[in-house]
Structure 1
Amino acid sequence: MNKIRIIALLLLTCTNVFAQQTFQTQLDSVFTVMYNQKQFNGSVLVAEKGKILLAKGYGFRDTLSRYQTNKNTIYELASCSKQFTAAAIVLLHRQGLLQYDDPLDKYIPELKQWHDVTIYDLLRHTSGLPEYIGDMAKGWDHQKIATNKDLITFYADRKDTLSFKPGSIHRYNNTNYALLASIIERISGKTYADYLKENIFMPLKMKSTFVYNRRLNPKRIKNYATGYVWRRQSFDKITSENPNYADSVVYYLDGIVGSAKVNSTILDLYKWVNALKSNTFFSPSEFELMTEVTKTSKGKNIPYGFGFDLSGGNSNLSFGHTGSWDGYATFIYHTVNKDRTIITLQNFKMGAYPFRTINQILDNRKMEIEYPKKITLPAPQIAQFAGTYLSTDDGEEQLITYLDGHLVHNTNRIKWDMRFFPIAQNEFQGIRQGGADGVIRFTQLPNQEVKLEMLEYGKVIGTAFRKSNNKGLE
């Protein structure tokens, strides 16, 4: 190799290293701002073309020890667990132990009323089955933790009919994947947890990945992140079933697996994505089937594969999933043509994932503000907007209160407990689950009346006028 080629190679290497460092700095800055604005608490991994650009934790994994999160912190994956349930089904199909067009009651005869539902329908969410989360909220003893066996008995006794003909409509449903987990157990003769461990996690050396029901079978796990929500009218973090939040669903449904309950780290999940994209775990034909954009019997696209949300179509594929359960907010996404992986795991229900911003940084595009920065305003200047506002369309009362430099939104019908921080003198950005955009804008009218406008992605979705002031700062 001559001197010119050596110099060129060194310059290219230095350029790549500098670019990676620049990306890391920019990405780190975004997540630092979000953490400081109470919009992110957890671990993040961003990688491109086989290079990890950022792998870091922000915030704390529990409120007692105050240990910080890091790249090895373990989180409940919530609905991101579904891809592993689907993967187990593909492995059983590979072994010839099931067919995708097999009827549900071939493996769960107790549910013979749903004979027309196939495994394929369960995987793609085209079954028409009822949603167990809503049904068991009304028909299950909230003092008892339900398991998959209980779920099957629950519906066998009820004999619910299907809400639509299988295959005709795509409708996301957690019951589908809970029943897939039971099928895995009945065919394999192993628990769902053991089957995934032996056939997926161990072969891929995902040593920090496992199925865990933290209330049904609590354990002490090193570097484990506890899922949190905000105490009502406070920024204190508590668990969902705490009386000051009172969401008992996470307790009595803790024993149901398949739709959730896989726990992992950002580094283990990166191993998983690498195995998927390189076809080292599934064959190309298997993975193509898992990520194929299919159609309903009515001809509409199904943007869901085997445990994956799909976008971009078959020729420009991106696959991944989001999750929210028990105080956790998760996001796993891979863009094939850019070989780009983004993973965020959070132990905070209201956590956001700046997907658009990350892509703008890595594509060297002009930055658009996805999550505006908080500005500093004196407390009285924020609190002046507190009060009761009457909606112009339906007469609903919008209740605005002040809390520690934020405004909190509720109504007389629903306790949203949604917090907003100032981004302008009269505008406040919402801290919403998944980072969904929401803004409250106040306008002082000539007659001294104050108008409130609720905006989503720049569009006004509601207007109200103040009928009474608050008492000011408490």
Structure 2
Amino acid sequence: MTKCKYSLCRMVFLFLLISSALSLRAQHLEKGIDSLIVKDFNDPNGPGGVFMVSRKGNPIYQKAVGKANLELGDNLSPENVFELGSMTKQFTAVAILMLEQAGKLKVEDPVLKYIPDYPNGEKITIHHLLTHTSGIKDFTKMKALADIAQKEMTPKMMVDFFKNEPADFAPGEKFEYNNSGYVLLGYLIEIISGMRYEDFIKNQIFDKVGMSRSYYASDRKVINKRAYGYHKKESGYVNKTMISFSVPFSSGSLMSTTGDMLKWQKALNGHLLLDAKETNKAFSKYKLNNGTEYTYGYGWHIRDINGTPTREHGGSIFGFKTMAVYIPGEDIYVIGLSNCDCNSPTRLVGEIAGFVLKGVKEKRW
């Protein structure tokens, strides 16, 4: 009986010791990340940001700073829905790969196969569009963009807007980030699938992954826990400039939460949407015509933190800036969503990822 009690006490002591150590590790992690965030996001009464870190699919840090709506004074929370901007591109890229997996296209296909009148369409491939190597004029750099920014455009109208512009370079000659290529990919998704891009993303991706708080953006829909976007002027904060989301379309018109984006990352890891072969295409580096390698796959930048490989992408759209970094070797996902385009989380998310990675390698948490 005494021996049994002794064993029980020892087990309780060990449990308390382990719990205390885990608590101290969590506190150290939280304190370290907080100290990074406060340098850039330090106005509790202005728009701010929501940040999340996950390890092995589970959140280990979440923080919301600032207001979701300045007029109402609502605080930001991890449940808030943000416009993603160019993080939309990874969903567009995966949609293309899903169609390839279903045998409906090949990334080597020329654009001409699906749009017979597209200029130079016999030389521009889907691969060129995915990797920003097509040479097509980026519509965001066209002066005439202001004329259509608030108009309701069909995908064909958007493609017609830029398709006859002189090319910046021959396909495959150069890597140059390009929104037009991803608008064209969205149009191809509609042509090949027979579905609106918006419906394809919702039915084939959001619903399958369980991303119930993710949407094709709208300023008219009532979206629960929407984070409102802001600019900062000399006089103070102002509401974001209104645009038609049919203009950025498949290059930048999706909305989501940090929690839903974690579901997305887990779905990619678990091959819920793509098999290993197609997934590998998204996260590979490719080469230009002259053999030079560039650090972009299909919808993601393929980079590293001090030699440790990462998959990264950010986004920027009126009133919002976003960034996410995934470290596949350690299954670390870091995401930051900001509701003021005055405050980009890009550098900060990279710093957080580096801090967490260092701690994991040193076995500090």
For Structure 1 versus Structure 2, the TM-score category normalised by the shorter chain is 0.7 to 0.9
Which residue in the other structure is 2:191 paired with? 186
**Match in the other structure for 2:55:** 48
In the aligned structure 2, how far is the partner of 1:303 from the partner of 1:142? 31
Larger displacement relative to structure 2 (55-64 or 67-76)? 55-64
Q: Which protein has the bigger helix share?
A: 2
| Structure 2 counterpart of 1:238 | 239
User: Equivalent residue for 2:26?
Assistant: 20
Work out the CA distance in 1 between the residues paired with 2:70 and 2:279.
41
C-alpha deviation, 1:282, in angstroms? 2.3
Give the secondary-structure state (helix, strand or coil) at the position aligned to 1:36.
coil
Secondary structure of the corresponding residue to residue 57 of structure 1: strand
Kept in 2: contact 1:111–1:152 (CA 8 A): no
State how 1:6-85 maps to structure 2 within 5 Å. Answer: 8=14, 11-36=17-42, 41-85=48-92
1:176 corresponds to: 181
Counterparts of 1:361 and 1:99, CA distance in 2? 40
Aligned letter for 2:352? I
1:93: which partner in 2?
100
Structure-1 residue corresponding to 2:341: 349
Q: Does 1:340 align with 2:332?
A: yes
1:165 equivalenced with 2:170 (yes/no): yes
User: Counterparts of 1:100-249 in structure 2 under 5 Å?
Assistant: 100-135=107-142, 137=144, 140-141=147-148, 144-156=151-163, 159-214=164-219, 218-231=220-233, 233-240=234-241
Cα distance, 1:154 vs structure 2: 2.3
Conserved 8 A contact 2:43-2:66: no
Find the aligned partners of 2:300 and 2:142 in 1 and give their Cα distance: 25
Amino acid corresponding to residue 349 of structure 1 in structure 2? D
When the two chains are superposed, the root-mean-square deviation of aligned CA atoms in Å is 2.6
- Work out the CA distance in 2 between the residues paired with 1:29 and 1:72: 23
CA distance in 2, matches of 1:146, 1:105: 22
> How do residues 322-401 of structure 1 correspond to structure 2 at under 5 angstroms?
322-353=314-345, 354-359=348-353, 361-362=355-356, 363-364=358-359
How far 1:188 moved relative to its partner?
1.0
State the 1:151 CA deviation: 1.4
What secondary structure is seen at the aligned counterpart in 2 of 1:93? Answer: helix
Cα distance between partner residues in 2 of 1:294 and 1:165: 16
Structure 2 CA distance for partners of 1:105 and 1:27, relative to 1, 3 Å:
same
> Using the alignment, how far apart are the partners of 1:22 and 1:294 within structure 2?
39
Write the distance in 1 (CA, Å) between the matches of 2:316 and 2:102: 33
SS at match of 1:20: helix
Contact 2:47 2:230 in 1 (8 A): no
Which residue identity lines up with residue 355 of structure 1 in the other structure?
Answer: V
The residue that corresponds to 1:305 in the other structure is 297
Provide the rounded CA distance (Å) in 2 between the counterparts of 1:278 and 1:12: 31
Residue 143 of structure 1: CA displacement?
5.8
Question: 1:280, 1:16 → 2: CA distance?
Answer: 32
Contact preservation (8 Å) 1:325, 1:349: yes
**Matched residues in 1 for 2:70 and 2:104: separation?**
46
- 1:161 to 1:44, Cα distance in 2 relative to 1, 3 A: same
Aligned-residue identity in percent: 27
CA contact 2:230–2:237 (8 Å) conserved in 1: no
Equivalent residue, structure 2, for 1:450: none
Superposition TM-score, scaled by structure 2 size: 0.87
Q: Which residue of 2 aligns with 1:399?
A: none
Q: Any gaps of 5 or more consecutive residues in structure 2?
A: 1-6, 361-365
How much has 1:222 moved relative to structure 2? 1.4
Structure 1 segment 250-289 matched on structure 2, within 5 A? 251=243, 254-289=246-281
Equivalent-residue separation in structure 2 for 1:96 and 1:15 (angstroms): 52
Q: How far off its partner does 1:155 sit? A: 3.6
Call closer, same or farther: CA 1:219–1:99 in 2, change over 3 Å.
Answer: same
> Structure 1 length normalisation: TM-score?
0.68
State the partner residue of 2:287: 295
Q: Write the letter of the residue equivalent to 1:240.
A: T
Q: Return the offset for 1:360.
A: 5.0
Q: Which position in structure 2 is the counterpart of 1:465? A: none
Structure index of larger Rg: 1
The AA in structure 2 aligned to 1:31 is: I
CA contact (8 A) 2:303 2:312 kept: no
> Structure 2: how far apart are the matches of 1:335 and 1:152?
35
Greater RCO, CA 8 A, separation 6+: 2
Displacement, 1:191? 0.8
Partners of 1:364 and 1:143 in 2: CA distance = 47
